[in-house]
Structure 1
Amino acid sequence: MILRFTLPYRTEPGQRLVVCGSLPALGQWVPEAALPLHYNQDSGLWSRELELPAAELAGATYKYLLLDERDGGRHWEWGPNRELPAAAATFGQLVLADWWRAPAQSENELFTAAFTEALFRRPAPAAPAATATAGPAVRFQLAAPRVQPGQQLCVLGSDEALGAWDAARAVVLSDADYPTWTANVTLATPAAETRYKYGIWDAGTGQVVDLEAGDDRLLAPETNQHTLRVLADNQYRYPTAPWRGAGVALPVFSLRSRRGLGVGEFPDLKLLVDWAVATGLQMVQVLPINDTVATHTWVDSYPYAAISVFALHPQYLNLEAVAELRDAAARQELAQLRDELNARDFVDYEPMMAAKWRFIRQLYQQEKKAFLADADFHAFRAEQVAWLLPYAAFSGLRDRFGTADFQQWPAEYRTPAQVEALTDEASADFDEFGLFFFIQFHLDKQLREAVAYARERGVVVKGDLPIGIYRHSVDAWTQPELYHLHQQAGAPPDDFSTTGQNWRFPTYNWEQMALDGYQWWQQRMGHLARYFDALRIDHILGFFRIWEIPAHSVEGLLGHFSPALPFSQQEIEQRLGWFDYGRLCEPYIRWHVVQEVFGGQAQVVFDEFMEDAGHGAIRLQEFVRTQRQMEAVINDKLAADPAQADYYRWLRTGLFGLANEVLLVPDDQQPDHYHPRITLPLSRSFRELDAAARPRLEALYHDFFYQRHEGFWREQGLTKLPPVRWATNMLICGEDLGMVPASVPGVMRDLGILGLHIQRMPADPTTEFGHPGTAPYLSVVSPGSHDMGTLRGWWEEDPAQTQRFFETILGHWHEATPQFCEPWVVREILEQHLHSPAMWAIFPLQDVVALSAELRREDPRAEQINVPSNPTHFWKYRFHLPLEELVEQAGFNEEVLALVGQSGRRQLC
C-alpha cells in the first residue's frame, strides 16, 4: 500500500518537519531515524510518500516533530499519538491529510479528563463508523470534545453524499473514539472540488442545531478509485465564546451531613455535587485527602503533611457504607456519638478519630473473613501493591512503637526489608497490618463511587497535590534517596508571613529522581488520576526552585532558593569592594539593637543569652546560636513555668529576630559561596551599613532575586514539569502565588497549566488588588483561598484597605463603605469573578453562602480554614449547615443559578 503523509505548515529557515512513529520506516520512535518530509514552498505543504506492506500498517502510530537546526530544538506536536486507520484491501493508497496540532492552544485543555470524563461525558459508546470499501473514499475525522451529551457531530457539504447542503441529510459522525469523531463517506462526485462544514446534530430532534463558523472547508478532487483519504481536520470553529465554567471549593473534612461522624466523609461529596448541579456549578474542589495520621493527636489535622502520598485518610470513611455493626449496643453507641460530634460547630479531631478507630476495628473483625475472601479486594491489592504493602506495614509499626519517626524504631524495622513478612496473611500479627488493607480498600471504593456520581452529573472533582512530603512518612521510609532529609522546605516572606514559612518537609533530590525519568512523580500523578479529573498543584513554583531552609532554622528568613546560583566571595568583593564574613554573615547585634528589641528587659536578656564579642559587637552564646536551640530552650521554660507563656513567646520572637540579622547566607554545597538574605534591605544590619555600601549591596540583592536566575529557573521548570504534566490527562492548575519568577507564566502557558488569580494577592506587585477582568483565559479566578479569611472576614480586618477596595475595584467612589460585607457587596464581587474571561471561577462555599443573610454563618472569623503564619494551626473548620439542608434551599439555589447563568458560565458546550 502507498502511504502518503501531508501536512500544511509554514516553517522558518532552519526548521524542518519529520514524522516519527512505531514503524521501522518511521524510525520506531527514535527521532534521529524519523522520516523526513519534503516541503513545497508554493503550497506550504510538507509531504512524503512511501510504499509498505498493508499488513504492517494496522495499529501503527505516529506523530509529527518539528526540528529546529538553529538551536537543536525538538518540538513535538501536541496531543496523543496518531493511529493509522484500518483500510480495506480494495484500497491501494492511503492519504493522511493531517494538520499540525499546535501546543499552547487554549482549546487543547478541553481534551483533558475534566471535559471528556465529566463535563462532556458521552453517556454510552456508539457504534463505530461503517468501514469504507469502495473508492475514492474519504474519512472525515475531527477531534472535538465540546459536544454536549445527546448531541453529535455531523458533516454537511456540497456533494450529494454530504447532503448537498440539505441539513436534514447531514452525515452524522460516530463518537466511538470520542473525543475524535469519524465518518467514512464515498463521495458522489469525487472528481469535483467538495466544500463542507462540520455541525452539531441533535439526535432528539434530528436537526442540525449549530454549523461551525468561518469559510467552507475544501476537499480537492480525487480520481484514483483505490484511494482512501483521511481528513484529520483541525479544530471545530465554535461561533460562541470560549467555554467557561464555575465551581465551589471546600475541604472534604469541612463537609457537614447528617450521616457524618463529626467530620466530612467521602459519600458527602455526593451531596455537594447535588448542590453544585442545582446552582449551575460544574466543579467541586477539595484539599489533599491523604492519610496524615502520624501522632494520633490534633496535629494530624494538617492535610499537607501526609504519611503517604498514595493512602487516603481514615477520617473520610463512612462506617455504615462499609457494613452495619451487628452488635446492637455498638450501633446505639455509634448513633449517640454521631449526635454528639455533629452537634459541635467544628471538627473535634481527636474524639472524632478515636471513635472512628474504635468502630473501624470492630468492623474489621466482624467482616474480616468475607473481606479477605473478596475478589474485589484481591484485585485492589494486586493493582496497588507497590504502595499498599509498605503503607500497611508502616502504619502498623507506627502504632506498635508509638511514633511515625522510623529512626526511633528498633533497628530491624528502620528499613522496609520486612514489609512482605509483616503483611503476610499467615503471620500471627497480620491483624496489625491487615486493618489498613481493609480501611484503604473501602476508602478507595467510597471515593471512586462519589467521583463516578459527580461525573455522571457533569461535575468535575478537582484534587490537590501538596508540593512536599512529610519527613516521617512511608515515602521517606521506603525511598529516602529521593529526598534531602537534612533540609526543610518552605516559602520566602509573603503576605501570609513576614518571616517566611517553614513547612518542615524535606526537599527533593531532583537529580536522583531524574535518573528513572521521574517515575515517583508519574506514579503519584497516576494515582491521583484514579480519583480526580482536575488537579491543583500546590506551590508549583517548587518545580522551578524551592525555598530551602537549613535544619537549624525555625523561621524562613535564613533560607535560600534551591537550586540557585550563589555569588562567590570573589564576585561579592568585586561588587561591594570588600568582604567581611563577620559583618555580612553573622548576626549583627549591638547594645542599642538589644535595647530596641527587649526594652527594659535588655540587660536581663543579655546576661542570660549573649556575650561581648569585642569592638562593640555582641554575639549569642553558644547554647542559643541557632533558632532550633532557642526553640528548645524556650520550650523547656514554657514547660517549667506555663504561667509566663506570653513572656517566653515574646522572648523567643526577639531572639529569633536577632538570629535573622545577617546579610548573606552561606551556601551549604559550595564553600565560599553566598546567597543574599531574603528581604535584606529591611534588616537592621543593612540599615546600619555606610552610605556607600548600601546601594551596592541592594544592587547585588536585586540582581540575585530578579535577574540572575531567570533563564536558569526556566530550564529547571521545563525539565521537571513536563514529566509530571503529561503523566495523566487531568486538567492541571498551578498555585503560582508569592514571589513568582518572570519565566513561570510562560512555562505554564506552554504546558497548558492554568494559573491562579486571587483578587487579594495579585501577581502584579505594583497593584494592591487584582481584577478578575484582566485574567487570561487559561486561568482560575477566585476571591480567596483556604489560606485567607473569607470575603466577610477579610472585609472587617482592615477598614482602610477595605475602603480602597470598595472605591477602586467596586467603583463606589461616593458611597460610605459598609462596616460589614453585606450580601449585595458579596454579590458584586462574585459577579466580577463570574464575568471574568478566565476558564474557571471557583469560590469558597463560605463566600457563596454569604449571598444570603439568612444562611450565612454569624461569625465570619470562624470560617477561615487555615492561618499560614501559625505553624501549629488546628485545621478544624466545618461548614455550619448540613448539606442536605443547603440542597433544599430552592430560593437561594435559584439565585446562584441565575448569577452563573447570566455570566455565560452555564454553557454545556
Structure 2
Amino acid sequence: MKPSYENFLKSPSGKYWEKIGLRRRAGAAVPLFSIYSRQSAGIGELPDLKLLIDWCEAAGLTILQLLPMNDTGFDFRPYDAQSSFALEPVYLSLENLAGVDPGPYRKELDEIQKKFPAGGSRVDYGIKQVKLELLGKIFQGVRKTGTLFDAFVRANAYWLEDYALFRVLKEEHQERGWFDWPAEFKGRRREALEPVKERNSQKILFYTWLQYQLFSQFEDVKKYAARKGVLLMGDLPFLVSRDSADVWAHPELFKLDGASGAPPDPYFSKGQRWGMPPYEWSQIQASDYVYWRERLKTAENFYDLFRMDHFVGMFRIWTVPLSEPLENFGLHGAFDPPDEAVWERQGRERVLRILESTGMLPCAEDLGIVPDCSYRLLRDWALPGMEVQRWIRDWGRSYDFRPPSDYRPNSIATLSTHDMSNLRGWWEYEMGTIDEGLFQREVERRGVSFEKVRDRLFDSKNSHYGRLRWKKEIDSVQAFLRVLEVSSGEAGLLTAAYQSSYGETEKFLKFLQVDSKERDFYRIAKRALERISETASIFSIQLLQDWLWLEESIGADPWNFRINFPGVDNDKNWRLVLPLSLEALQRWPFTESVKRMNEQAGRLSAS
C-alpha cells in the first residue's frame, strides 16, 4: 500500500513541508572532512561540496546531509564544539577567499597542498594550524571593511564579538579551558576585558573576518545546491562544549554544576558521562529563547532542514553531578527534570518555540532509549525521526526484520549512522554475534564463569573486534541454557540477546528476499539499499560509505571504514577519508544504479 503524507501539511510543521515540497526523497550523508577534490588543501573544503552536489543531482539524490560544521578548536570532535554559531576554519578554501587574489600566495598554497596531500585514509588535522598561519598573513594585506562585511558583523552581533574575544583569550592562555583562566577573565569583568580588546583589536578582527569568509563560501554552496534542486541538511548538536564561547558568554543558560550523559544500560554498565553542561531551561525561557532563536537564524544561512541531535534531550537529559568521580561515568546521575509527568508538556513547549523560530524543517535523532512522549510529538507534528534498518525488528517475539511498510512515514530510513559500523562492517563482523563485554558482565552477574562457557558457546576463530559469534550447534534457547546451567527465568536479558543474534543472518536475508545461502556481499548491499529505499519513510538518506558498497572494488577496510567509534578515544574517530576523490565520484560507474533505485522507489519526483 502506497504511503500517504498529506496529513503532514495539516500539522504544526505543515509550512516546512510546503516549503521544501511534500514528496519522497533520497539522500546521502557525509562529513565534509571525509571528501576531497584536486583543489582541496589537506581536507574537504566548502567549495568541494559543489562537486558532491553535482553527483547527488546525477544520482537522483535530493538531500545532502552533513555532520556539524561548527568550530571545534583543536579537539576535532564535531559534537563537542567550541561554538554553536561559528564555523570550523579548517574547511575554508584559501583559493576562494572573498576579495582576495590568491596569486601572491601561490607558493605557500602549493607548499600546503604538497605537505598535506588530499586523500589517504585519515585526515591529518595538523592542516588547521598551517592554514590559520597563512590566513593570518593574507589577512594583513586585505581591506578590513566593506558593505558586505559590515552587514555580516551587524547580522551576527549576538555571538560574533564574544566568539572572537574567546578565541583570543584561548590563545593567550595556551588553549586552556575558560574555567581555568584567571578569575577576572573567567568572570568576564569589564575592566579586565577592555584592555584585552584594545591590544588585540586586529586579532579580534581576524577571527571576525575568518567567519565572514566561511559564511560567504557556505552561503555560496547553498545557492548552488538550490539551483541543482538539492536540499542541504545540517546537523545541530543539542549540547555545546563546556569549554565554548557560548558557555563562557552565557553561563546563566547552563547548569555548570552538572555534566550531561546517559544512564547505565546493557552496553555501558556505568552509563556515560559526556561532559557538556545541561541547559538551564528556566533561564532560556525567561530570555524568550533568544539563544536558540539566534542559533537557528545562523544555521538557516546554510541549511534547508536540520537534524536535531539527541532530540530526547528536549524532554529530559541524564545529568551527573560535576563533583562525581570521573571513573563512575554516568552511574550516579538522574534525569532532569526528575518528574516524568512534566516531560511531554515541557518538551512540546520547547520544540514549538523552535518551530516558531526557523524556516528549516527539524528532523529528530531519536535513537536509543526514547520516551513515548517523543514518538507522540513527532507523529502529531509530522516531524521525521530515524529508522535504522538493522534495528527495525519484531523485538521480543520473532526478532524478524520488519517489512519496509512498517517504517514510520514521518521518518528518515537509513542503513547506518556515523556512530555505527557501515553495512559491510555490520554484515561481516557484527551480524549473528553478541557484544563480548555485555555477555561477560551478564553471565558473571549470574554466577557463571565466562571463561568456562565462552568456547562452548562461541566460534572463536570467527569472532572479531569484541564480538562473539555463536557456534552453529547452539541452535535453540534450550541448548544455550544447558551450557549456562541456568533456568530461563534466571537468564532474562541473556535469552533475549541470544534470540536476537543467533540466526540473524538468515533473518536478514529473508527480509531482503534473497536465497538463504546467498553470501555475495555486493548483491546483498544492492538489495539492502533497495529495501531501505522502498520503505514508507518520506526520506531515505544513506551514508556515502554505504552507497559506495555497490562497487566491488571500492577497496575499504569494512571495520575501520567508519566515522566514529562511540566511547572510544582513538586516532580514527572523526578522521575518515573516502577512498575516491570527488572527481572520481563524478565518473563512478554505479551512479546510474543509484538513480534507478531511487526512481523505482518513487524518490525522484513527486508521485
TM-score interval for Structure 1 and Structure 2 normalised by the shorter chain: 0.7 to 0.9
Cα distance change, pair 877–539 in 1 and its aligned pair in 2 (3 A): same
The one-character-per-residue Cα deviations of 1:161-198 (angstroms, maximum 9, x if unpaired) are: xxxxxxxxxxxxxxxxxxxxxxxxxxxxxxxxxxxxxx
For 1:168-317, list aligned pairs within 5 A: 243-293=23-73, 296=74, 300-317=75-92
Cα distance change, pair 494–794 in 1 and its aligned pair in 2 (3 A): farther
| Aligned with 2:516 (options 794, 808, 815) | 815
1:416 and 1:780 mapped to 2: Cα distance?
A: 43
After superposing on structure 2, the runs of 4+ consecutive aligned residues of structure 1 that deviate more than 6 Å are: none
For 1:31-46, list aligned pairs within 5 A: none
| Aligned with 1:893 (options 588, 591, 594) | 591
The one-character-per-residue Cα deviations of 1:122-175 (angstroms, maximum 9, x if unpaired) are: xxxxxxxxxxxxxxxxxxxxxxxx6xxxxxxxxxxxxxxxxxxxxxxxxxxxxx
| Aligned with 1:884 (options 570, 583, 604) | 583
Note if 1:733 corresponds to 2:363.
Answer: yes
SS at match of 1:363: helix
Q: Give the letter aligned to residue 311 of structure 1.
A: A
Is the CA contact 2:320–2:332 (under 8 Å) kept in the aligned structure 1? yes
| Aligned with 1:408 (options 165, 176, 180) | 180
Q: Give the letter aligned to residue 284 of structure 2.
A: M
- Corresponding residue number in structure 2 for 1:105: 8
Q: Give the letter aligned to residue 148 of structure 2.
A: D
1:724 and 1:861 mapped to 2: Cα distance?
A: 38
The one-character-per-residue Cα deviations of 1:488-529 (angstroms, maximum 9, x if unpaired) are: 101234576444322110111112211123221122122211
* Aligned-residue offset at 1:343: 4.9
Is the CA contact 2:36–2:119 (under 8 Å) kept in the aligned structure 1? no
* Aligned-residue offset at 1:444: 0.2
- Corresponding residue number in structure 2 for 1:564: 338
| Aligned with 2:168 (options 354, 376, 396) | 396
Note if 1:433 corresponds to 2:204.
Answer: yes
Q: Give the letter aligned to residue 577 of structure 2.
A: R
Q: Give the letter aligned to residue 564 of structure 1.
A: P
1:417 and 1:736 mapped to 2: Cα distance?
A: 41
For 1:308-387, list aligned pairs within 5 A: 308-322=83-97, 323-327=100-104, 330-367=105-142, 370=143, 372-387=144-159
Is the CA contact 2:59–2:595 (under 8 Å) kept in the aligned structure 1? yes
The one-character-per-residue Cα deviations of 1:426-479 (angstroms, maximum 9, x if unpaired) are: x44312211101110000000000011101111110001111111111111111
Is the CA contact 2:27–2:56 (under 8 Å) kept in the aligned structure 1? yes
Cα distance change, pair 400–757 in 1 and its aligned pair in 2 (3 A): same
- Corresponding residue number in structure 1 for 2:386: 756
The one-character-per-residue Cα deviations of 1:197-234 (angstroms, maximum 9, x if unpaired) are: xxxxxxxxxxxxxxxxxxxxxxxxxxxxxxxxxxxxxx
2:422 and 2:269 mapped to 1: Cα distance?
A: 21
- Corresponding residue number in structure 1 for 2:292: 521
Is the CA contact 2:29–2:544 (under 8 Å) kept in the aligned structure 1? yes
Cα distance change, pair 303–103 in 1 and its aligned pair in 2 (3 A): same
* Aligned-residue offset at 1:301: 1.3
| Aligned with 1:714 (options 330, 338, 344) | 344
- Corresponding residue number in structure 2 for 1:784: 416
2:314 and 2:369 mapped to 1: Cα distance?
A: 14
Relative to the length of structure 1, the TM-score reads 0.55
2:28 and 2:394 mapped to 1: Cα distance?
A: 25
- Corresponding residue number in structure 1 for 2:429: 797
Q: Give the letter aligned to residue 538 of structure 2.
A: M
- Corresponding residue number in structure 2 for 1:840: 539
1:343 and 1:867 mapped to 2: Cα distance?
A: 23
Q: Give the letter aligned to residue 44 of structure 2.
A: G
| Aligned with 2:529 (options 826, 830, 833) | 830
| Aligned with 1:868 (options 559, 563, 566) | 566
Is the CA contact 1:823–1:851 (under 8 Å) kept in the aligned structure 2? yes
1:886 and 1:529 mapped to 2: Cα distance?
A: 28
Who wins on radius of gyration, i.e. which is larger?
1
Deviates more, 1:249-258 or 1:413-422: 413-422
Is the CA contact 1:489–1:507 (under 8 Å) kept in the aligned structure 2? yes
SS at match of 2:152: helix
Is the CA contact 1:252–1:286 (under 8 Å) kept in the aligned structure 2? yes
Q: Give the letter aligned to residue 847 of structure 1.
A: D
Question: If each structure's helix is expressed as a fraction of its own residues, which one has the higher value?
Answer: 2
Is the CA contact 1:501–1:868 (under 8 Å) kept in the aligned structure 2? no
1:778 and 1:541 mapped to 2: Cα distance?
A: 16
* Aligned-residue offset at 1:107: 6.0
Is the CA contact 1:722–1:751 (under 8 Å) kept in the aligned structure 2? no
1:366 and 1:392 mapped to 2: Cα distance?
A: 20
Is the CA contact 1:114–1:534 (under 8 Å) kept in the aligned structure 2? no
Q: Give the letter aligned to residue 271 of structure 2.
A: G
* Aligned-residue offset at 1:769: 4.7
Note if 1:484 corresponds to 2:114.
Answer: no
* Aligned-residue offset at 1:307: 1.1
Is the CA contact 1:517–1:723 (under 8 Å) kept in the aligned structure 2? no
Q: Give the letter aligned to residue 68 of structure 2.
A: P
The one-character-per-residue Cα deviations of 1:521-553 (angstroms, maximum 9, x if unpaired) are: 122122211211101000100011101122224
Note if 1:903 corresponds to 2:535.
Answer: no
Q: Give the letter aligned to residue 125 of structure 2.
A: E
* Aligned-residue offset at 1:421: 4.1
Question: If each structure's strand is expressed as a fraction of its own residues, which one has the higher value?
Answer: 1
* Aligned-residue offset at 1:334: 2.5
The one-character-per-residue Cα deviations of 1:28-79 (angstroms, maximum 9, x if unpaired) are: xxxxxxxxxxxxxxxxxxxxxxxxxxxxxxxxxxxxxxxxxxxxxxxxxxxx
SS at match of 1:484: coil
For 1:663-682, list aligned pairs within 5 A: none
Is the CA contact 1:494–1:738 (under 8 Å) kept in the aligned structure 2? no
The one-character-per-residue Cα deviations of 1:749-775 (angstroms, maximum 9, x if unpaired) are: 223321111122348753475544311
1:266 and 1:109 mapped to 2: Cα distance?
A: 33
2:565 and 2:362 mapped to 1: Cα distance?
A: 25
* Aligned-residue offset at 1:798: 3.0
* Aligned-residue offset at 1:837: 1.1
2:166 and 2:51 mapped to 1: Cα distance?
A: 34
- Corresponding residue number in structure 1 for 2:496: none
Q: Give the letter aligned to residue 823 of structure 1.
A: Y
Deviates more, 1:891-900 or 1:805-814: 805-814
SS at match of 2:503: helix
- Percent identical pairs in the alignment equals 32
Is the CA contact 1:114–1:460 (under 8 Å) kept in the aligned structure 2? no
Q: Give the letter aligned to residue 562 of structure 1.
A: D
1:878 and 1:459 mapped to 2: Cα distance?
A: 23
The one-character-per-residue Cα deviations of 1:728-763 (angstroms, maximum 9, x if unpaired) are: 121111011111112211112223321111122348
What is the alpha-carbon root mean square deviation over aligned residues?
2.6
* Structure with bigger RCO (C-alpha 8 Å, 6+ apart): 2
1:781 and 1:512 mapped to 2: Cα distance?
A: 36
The one-character-per-residue Cα deviations of 1:59-107 (angstroms, maximum 9, x if unpaired) are: xxxxxxxxxxxxxxxxxxxxxxxxxxxxxxxxxxxxxxxxxxx996356
Is the CA contact 1:341–1:348 (under 8 Å) kept in the aligned structure 2? no
* Aligned-residue offset at 1:251: 0.8
Note if 1:530 corresponds to 2:301.
Answer: yes
Cα distance change, pair 738–302 in 1 and its aligned pair in 2 (3 A): same
Cα distance change, pair 903–326 in 1 and its aligned pair in 2 (3 A): closer
Q: Give the letter aligned to residue 816 of structure 1.
A: K
Cα distance change, pair 760–443 in 1 and its aligned pair in 2 (3 A): same
* Aligned-residue offset at 1:822: 1.5
For 1:60-209, list aligned pairs within 5 A: 105-106=8-9, 112=15, 116=19
